[in-house]
Amino acid sequence: MNYTVDSVTALETYLTQAKKILKESNKQTEIDNAVTELDKKVTELVKISALKDAIAAADALKADEYTQESWEVFQATLTTIKAVATKSNATQVEVDQAKVDLETAQKALVKVTKVATERELKAAVENVEVKNILLTADITLTDQLIINRELVLRGTDETANKVITGKVAGKAAVLIQENGNKAKLKDLTIVGPNTTAGGWDVGEYAYAIQVYKAKEVVLENVTVKNTNAGILVNSATVTVNNIVTEGNEFGGIEVSKGEGVDTNPKLTIQGKSNHGDAEGKPAIWLDGTKLNDNWVLGEPADNLGQYNQTIPKDESGKEKDQLWFMFKQQ
């Protein structure tokens, strides 16, 4: 039906009356009034065909082509709009506004760019028009992945994170540079280089992820594994949510202040952490200080209760200029 039920019912009801008047009345005035009223009922029909077409087009969209957050907002709006389309007594104003609202919600959907190869991934990262990247296959890098702008890189399917493996000795698999403020990695497993068994790889930055001087970086549902050390927060501001570090030779997350840099680092721990790095190695450690001067925070504060803090000693028994956070096995 292209019109609301109530407006069609009103027209049909009066049409029956008009037919009776035309058949029984011999007064032109009554007939003229009936025609006028019938015309009015026709103009009062509430047309919903355009709204129904818009809803059909919206239903044809595919969730995996948009970010989850924007899709959920869109679906909530679509549910509301469908209620208007089936409302028997909806007014034309309501119907027209519902169509406008649906079009606005559809324009607000945030598209994702799907990538399945290293070449596609790096092209998407370098394209400033691309804001959201969805990794659809595991990738082994032949060179470091450098992120120097705000973007979201997500890699997941219904069962497991997608995996990015770095193979360049001495370089972090993923480097988020100073201009990578607000970059977000989500639902990813990053495997960094580790080519020297029992020792640190040649080169200074053999991590899965290094964040250098960037602010408001988020790592959500990210696993870093099987490298020298999982993450380096280097004079940067990073939030980890449900972080997992495992199989890393020297520990999970290093928080330190680069040489010649005035900005202190800050690591915020959200959600539930899980660490399974080399035995006796820290889940998190501060390098260059024994005091946690807000370099590592919990959000909420009791999230730091997942760790015991200790100052390590060298072979001579002298305290190192470090503070270790040892994970309490759950």
Look up the CATH number of the domain holding residue 283: 2.160.20
Looking at residue 46, what is its pLDDT? Answer: 62
Residue 164: which of 140, 132, 135, 136 has the closest Cα?
140
* β-strands 307-310, 113-115 pairing: unpaired
Tokens of 82: 């469908």
CA 109, distance to chain mean position in Å, is 13
71 and 215 in a common domain: no
219 and 171 in a common domain: yes
pLDDT tens for 170-204 read 889 999 999 999 999 999 999 987 766 666 666 66
265 and 247 in a common domain: yes
Q: Specify the number of domains making up the chain.
A: 3
What is the H or E stretch that residue 308 is in? Answer: strand 307-310
Domain boundary among 111, 138, 154: 111
Q: Is 273 left (phi over 0), alpha (psi -120 to 50) or beta?
A: beta
Looking at residue 84, what is its pLDDT? Answer: 92
Whole-angstrom distance, CA of residue 269 vs CA of residue 238 = 9
Looking at residue 15, what is its pLDDT? Answer: 76
Sheet holding 322-327: strands in order across? 145-147, 174-176, 207-212, 229-234, 253-256, 284-287, 322-327, 307-310
Domain boundary among 25, 45, 65: 45
Full residue range of the structural domain in which residue 77 is found: 49-111
- What is the CATH classification number for the domain harbouring 71? 1.20.1270
Q: pTM for the complete prediction?
A: 0.79
What is the H or E stretch that residue 229 is in? Answer: strand 229-234
300 and 179 in a common domain: yes
140 and 87 in a common domain: no
Can you give the length of the chain in residues? Answer: 330
189 and 169 in a common domain: yes
222 and 187 in a common domain: yes
162 and 72 in a common domain: no
143 and 269 in a common domain: yes
172 and 157 in a common domain: yes
Tokens of 146: 């450098």
pLDDT tens for 21-50 read 777 777 787 776 767 776 676 666 668 888
pLDDT tens track of the chain, all 330 residues? 787 777 767 767 767 777 777 777 777 877 767 677 766 766 666 688 889 899 999 999 999 889 888 999 999 999 999 999 988 888 889 989 999 999 999 999 999 999 999 999 999 999 999 999 999 999 999 999 999 999 999 997 656 789 999 988 788 999 999 999 999 999 999 998 776 666 666 666 789 999 999 999 999 999 999 988 999 999 999 999 999 999 999 999 999 997 778 889 999 999 999 999 999 999 999 999 999 989 999 999 999 999 999 999 999 999 999 999 999 976
Find the angle CA(35)-CA(41)-CA(42) to the nearest 5 degrees: 90
- The angle that helices 5-24 and 28-43 make with each other, rounded to 10 degrees, is 170
Q: Cβ neighbours of residue 204 under 8 Å, at least 6 residues apart? A: 170
185 and 85 in a common domain: no
25 and 98 in a common domain: no
Residue with tokens 């946690």: 292
Whole-angstrom distance, CA of residue 193 vs CA of residue 140 = 11
